[in-house]
């Protein structure tokens, strides 16, 4: 197996990137062996706004390219949907996704807006 970090996937996913041709070459050479982690997915989703990338497309593309350790496909897609459709910040989206709609303890009111029951930290 070959582990790829965020730079590799950005080079492939961005429209123009100075590393794109080399990333494509490496992808073709190792495509059956590629893997990454939830850390890479989080970093990519944090960079979506900067590079004008669609969070859902990035998530689906990442799963199409390699195995992602540390998160199942459904939770990853739910997090990307929260980012795209509910305007959640990346970490809030992952917390919401990992909560699996269970009650969440938080001071963030955004969970109320998306229908997740919240135990309020604030008084």
pLDDT (tens digit per residue) in 42-75 = 999 999 999 999 999 999 999 999 999 999 999 9
pLDDT at 8 over 80: yes
CA-nearest of 15, 12, 14 to 24 is 12
Give me the phi and psi of 67, to 5 degrees please. Answer: -85, 140
> Does 95 map to a domain?
no
The three-state secondary structure class of 90 is helix
Q: Show the domain range for 51.
A: 2-87
pLDDT at 123 over 90: no
> Does 107 map to a domain?
no
Mean pLDDT computed over every residue of the chain: 96
Q: Which residues of 14-29 are buried (b: 16+ CB within 10 A; e: fewer)?
A: beeeeeeeebeebbee
Number of structural domains found in the chain: 1
Looking at residue 23, what is its pLDDT? 97
In this prediction the pTM is: 0.92
> Does 48 map to a domain?
yes
Looking at residue 72, what is its pLDDT? 95
């Amino acid at each position: 197996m070959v582990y790829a970090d965020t730079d590799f996937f950005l080079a492939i996913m961005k429209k123009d990137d100075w590393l794109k041709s080399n990333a494509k070459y490496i992808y073709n050479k190792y495509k059956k062996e590629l893997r990454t982690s939830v850390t890479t997915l989080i970093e990519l989703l944090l960079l979506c706004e900067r590079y004008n990338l669609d969070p859902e497309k990035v998530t689906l593309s990442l799963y199409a390219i390699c195995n992602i350790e540390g998160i199942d496909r459904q939770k990853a897609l739910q997090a990307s949907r929260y980012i795209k459709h509910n305007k959640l910040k990346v970490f809030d989206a992952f917390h919401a996704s990992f909560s699996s709609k269970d009650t969440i303890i938080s001071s963030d009111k955004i969970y109320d807006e998306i229908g997740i029951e919240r135990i309020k930290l604030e008084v």
